[in-house]
Amino acid sequence: MRQINRIFLHHSESPFSTTFEDIKQWHLNRGWRDIGYHFVIGQYGTIKIGRPVSKIGAGVYHHNNDSIHICVIGDFDKRAPKTKQIESLISLLTRLRMKHDVKIHNHCEYTTNKTCPGRNLAGMLSFLDKESKRPIRRLIEVILILLEKIKGDK
């Protein structure tokens, strides 16, 4: 089993209606052997397993050997993620952090030409202790409050 030290967060930068299969086809069309992400979270919070965690992903150039890549479907520079997506992401991150001693990173921390995982998703997770393994139930509560506020502001 390969050593996992980091989790990278991504967004698909596409409509919520984008599917796991769409993303996989985009990656295959680039000449990749499989989808680059290990997990993809759809618009209703469904978590699809992509590349096996035992295999090196393709998500951040030169930073894939020791990392897991999670993509949340949507364009989070333009809109906020859906509540179910946030709940699923937090659940997945919690499970992965229990298994691996990892730090969580946004894709944009390692490139100058991307905002990935989008300002709205990165902003929601900015107060997440990206190194702690402690339970994050309170984080879920805070994010749900923020989502309700965003809905109320529209």
Which H, E and C letters describe 67-93, residue by residue? EEEEEECCCCCCCCCCHHHHHHHHHHH
Cis peptide bond prior to 117, omega within 30° of 0 = yes
Answer whether 51's CB lies under 8 Å from 36's CB: yes
Q: What is the pLDDT of residue 61?
A: 84
| SS3 state at 24 | helix
Distance separating alpha carbons of residues 57 and 37, to the nearest angstrom: 6
pLDDT for position 44:
96
What is the predicted pLDDT for the residue at 104?
87
pLDDT per 10-residue tile (average), the chain, 154 residues? 90 96 97 96 97 93 91 95 90 87 85 87 68 53 66 56
The structural domains of the chain, with segments of one domain joined by +, span 6-153
CATH number of 6-153: 3.40.80.10
pLDDT reported for residue 133: 47
